[in-house]
Structure formats: C-alpha cells, structure tokens
Amino acid sequence: MIASPAFAVVDWGTSSFRLWLVSEDGAVLAERQSGDGMTTAREKGFAATLDAHLESLDAPAGLPVVACGMVGARQGWMEANYLDVPASLEEIVSKAVSPRDTDRRVFILPGLAQRLKARADVIRGEETQLMGAAASRPNAGAGLYCMPGTHSKWVRMESGKVAGFSTFMTGELFALIVHHSILAHSIGEAEADPEAPAFAEAVLAAYQEPQCLTGSLFSIRGSQLLFGDTPERAAARLSGMLIGTEIAGSGCKSGGESIHLIASGRLASLYRAAFAALSIGIEEIDADQAVREGLIRAARFLGLIGGKGQFS
C-alpha cells in the first residue's frame, strides 16, 4: 500500500522553491523544485504558487504545510519576526506564523536576530538547517556550524541554544568581483577547482594574513599580465582568498574543535578542500537533507505528526 502524505514542507528562498510531501512516519514521498522564489511568488501570489505546486504532485486538498526561508521575510508572504538570540530550536518553531489569505494550514518559521550594535546580524532559513543538523547527533546542541552560501553563516550552539552567529558575504563578493571588477578580465567564465594547488595556497595565505585581502586580490590581475596565469588559476586563487579570509574571521583554528559543515554540491567540495588545507577537522552534513529534516522536526513539534510539542 502506498503511503499518503500527512503534510508538506517547503524551503522557500528569494529565487528558489523546494517542496517535499511527507508521510505520517516522516518519509519523503515526492519532491518538487522550481524558480518560484519569493520574488516570483509576490507577483503570482504566494497561496496560488503553493497550491499549484501541490496540485502538480496530486497532493490531497487542504494538506498542511510548514515553510522556512524568505517566505517569512518582510517582503514575503507573511512576516515571521526575528527571534533574538540566545534562542533554543524549540523556541523558533513555537513562534511560527500562519497567513490568513488561505484556507490551508500553513506555518512559516521565523529567523534569528543578533542585536549587537557592532555585529548586528540576521538569519532566515539557516536556523531550520540547524534543526535538521542537530537531529539524532551526539553533542549536536553544542559547537560551531559553518553554512556556506551567497552569505555564509557561522553559528555557535551552546547547550541546545543558538548563542550567536556571524554572516560573511563570501559568495556575493566572489560574484561581484568576477562580474564587476577589473578581475573580470582575468577570470572570465572559469570556475574554481578545489583540487588546484593554487586554491589551497590562497586559502592558507589568506587565513594567515586576512588583513592583506584587498592587496592580494589585485595580485590576481598582476599575475595574469606578468606571468600569464590562466583564468582557471585566477578563479582558484580568488575563491581561496575569500574562503580563507572567511575562515580566519570565524575564529576556528587548526587542532581546535571540529566544525560542523552544512553544505551540498560544489560549495561542499570547496569548503572541504579549504578546511583540509588548514588541517581543520570537520563533520559534513548535507545541506538539503538538513533543511528537510529540520522542517519535518518542526512539523512534529507543531502536531502535524506524532504528539504536539515533541521535538525529537
């Protein structure tokens, strides 16, 4: 007998939409991805966008949904106000909001805020990855978590609570430099190879002297003009410099605590190689699996499966 979905979970970003149908026992029955992120859904209508994707998977009428990400931003479907840190993962779910312009039960999870004048910061979406990463892992309620992306997040967990976090604009800076700086002439369409010696060398140099980043960047252009560096080597050096500087800013050190790396695909390969170059131990956690598991944990806490209030 084929199981029926008990609810759906959605990771709804600015430009991406990922939906999973989930059974009563927490098994994923179907998946759908599209570019119907917050920007597109604002034009189409959030409720209409969600309904269309559920109908395409033949989901039962009225199926409840738990969503995270930019759908809860001020420009999203309904603002889910930031929860101040320190905050437990259970507290995050308890502050979920429900939009009123749909007959469907929809729960949108809030993000987190760090209200420090010198290090003001926010997270929206990554908190749900933390929920999934912390599921069924010993000592997962403590440690340092690295979540690479356009805006990489480094989160400190203590005693089951998010104690603090930092955002690094590594991915966005890479894109801006490649497409809108003098280095565009040196890199073109080349991609960084995490196995290239130039990548590891750049990671190590930037980690040791992060204050030299802006000066080191122009050396990429100089090396092409004076020594004929290839676009591939230039891309590897740029990526290594930015990631090495990020890791230096995180405060983690070789021989220190192991880092929980929550990443998938190409980003996982780049950061894995960067940590290896610095002899920093990591535990890898698949980002897609983490956000899905986090949403399912939230659904359990909200009473969509199992007993309401359970967060296990």
Residue 136, pLDDT score? 58
69: phi then psi, degrees, rounded to nearest 5 = 105, -155
Q: Check pLDDT > 50 for residue 1.
A: no
Tell me, yes or no, whether 18 and 123 share the same domain: yes
Q: How far is CA 68 from CA 44, 65, 109, 190, in A?
A: 19, 10, 5, 33
Average pLDDT over residues 248-266: 92
Q: How many domains does the chain have?
A: 2
How far is 184 from 235, CA to CA, in rounded Å? Answer: 10
Smallest CA-to-CA distance from 152 within 127, 164, 170, 165 is with 170
Question: Per the domain annotation, does 163 fall within a domain?
Answer: no
Instruction: Write out the H or E segment, with its range, that includes residue 40.
Output: helix 38-44
One domain for residues 24 and 105: yes
> Does residue 261 sit within a domain?
yes
Confidence of residue 306 (pLDDT cuts 50, 70, 90): low
Q: What is the mean pLDDT of residues 203-221?
A: 97
Strand 17-23 with 28-34, pairing = antiparallel
Structural domain contains residue 306: no
**Percent of the chain at pLDDT above 70?**
96
Question: What are the residues facing 285 on neighbouring strands?
Answer: 262
157 occurs within a structural domain: no
Domain that holds residue 46: 5-137+292-301
Peptide bond into 86 cis (omega under 30): yes
Stretch among 83-87, 173-177, 204-208, 308-312 having the lowest mean pLDDT: 308-312
CATH number of the domain encompassing residue 185: 3.30.420.310
The CATH number of residue 113's host domain is 3.30.420.300
Q: pLDDT (tens digit, 9 = 90+) per residue, 234-248? A: 999 999 999 999 999
Task: Encode pLDDT of 12-48 as tens digits.
Answer: 999 999 999 999 988 999 999 999 999 999 999 999 9
